[in-house]
Amino acid sequence: MSALNRPYPRLMGRIEVDGSDLVLRLTWREKIAGFHGDIRAPLTSVRSVSVPRHPWQALRGWRMAGIGIPRIAALGTRRHGTGYDFALLHRDRPAVQVELATGRFERWLVSVDEGDDAATEAERVAAAAGIQVSADR
């Protein structure tokens, strides 16, 4: 569903393609709660894109900056043994997981907005990066 045909305003962040970059565009509320602005990564750094069966179990490490309320919201930077991830999980919504080879974050884990399909979003991101969607985990 396109943003123009949406019966309600977008309430969640979204992964977009902007030229040769992948951009995680956050809403103003997510920017405040996650202590972060929009995030950019070159499409060439995308290693894999998948739709985790259990997004909350795909979280790694501990919260560094942002909000973490188990099964309610995980917004912000997460630190783990090998680096940093960025999480944008909302309640029980499906999510898209993007693994990156370069940049500050090794992984983005992003819930999809109501009315959007995680598999379709993953296919869109993978196609832009010139790769196939990875199998569910």
Instruction: Going residue by residue through the chain, which has 137 residues, state the pLDDT in tens, using 9 for 90 and above.
Output: 444 454 445 578 899 999 999 999 999 999 999 999 999 999 999 999 999 999 999 999 999 999 999 889 999 999 999 999 999 999 999 999 999 999 999 999 999 988 889 999 999 999 999 999 998 65
* Amino acid type, 60: R
- Ordered by start, the domain boundaries in the chain are 10-129
Enter the tokens of residue 17.
Answer: 């393609």
Residue 43 phi/psi, 5-degree rounding, is -60, -30
Which CATH code for domain 10-129? 2.30.29
CB 107 within 8 A of CB 83: no
- Residue 12's pLDDT is 83
Closest CA to 60 of 94, 99, 92: 99
